[in-house]
Structure 1
Amino acid sequence: MTLKRQHHEIALSVANTGEGIGAEHLDKIFDRFYRTDPSRSRKHGGYGLGLAIAKAIVERHQGKISAKSVPNGVTTFTVQLPPEA
């Protein structure tokens, strides 16, 4: 986890290792109800709302949220907020 001021913005990044997120999913993971593995049921995989809620909160504060991922490597989520948010 890192927090820093970057180009007149505040940037919070959170990274971890694991199976990662495939490139074909990265542009959809912030959509409501989207799950990268369609075989996962709500019982085992959640509702697909967490990242959509995070995006709505960040955008409400005039910010941006993004993700980068390397399959079987590092996945990093970054939130960028204006300093007055």
Structure 2
Amino acid sequence: MSTLPVLPKKPLPPGRPREWYETHNRRLKAMRIAIALLDTGVYTPEQAHNRRIRTVAARIGVHPPSLTTCRLVRALLP
């Protein structure tokens, strides 16, 4: 796997409800995990079991995802 350049983080907009921030961060986490799964050869939701998703998350340095995040990862896969 090649290393991509790290983009600077932008601050999130203030004044949103807490649920918005939680959902936003969950989506970002799910996208990072989905990209890593695609890089490892997992191309369909049927191949992405919770154990595999959590293993890939640990490999890329992301905290173990919840069941909700695992479902979101599977929804992002083609």
TM-score using structure 1 length: 0.28
Select the structure that is richer in strand. Answer: 1
Bigger RCO of structures 1 and 2 (CA < 8 A, at least 6 apart): 1
1 or 2, which has the higher helix percentage? 2
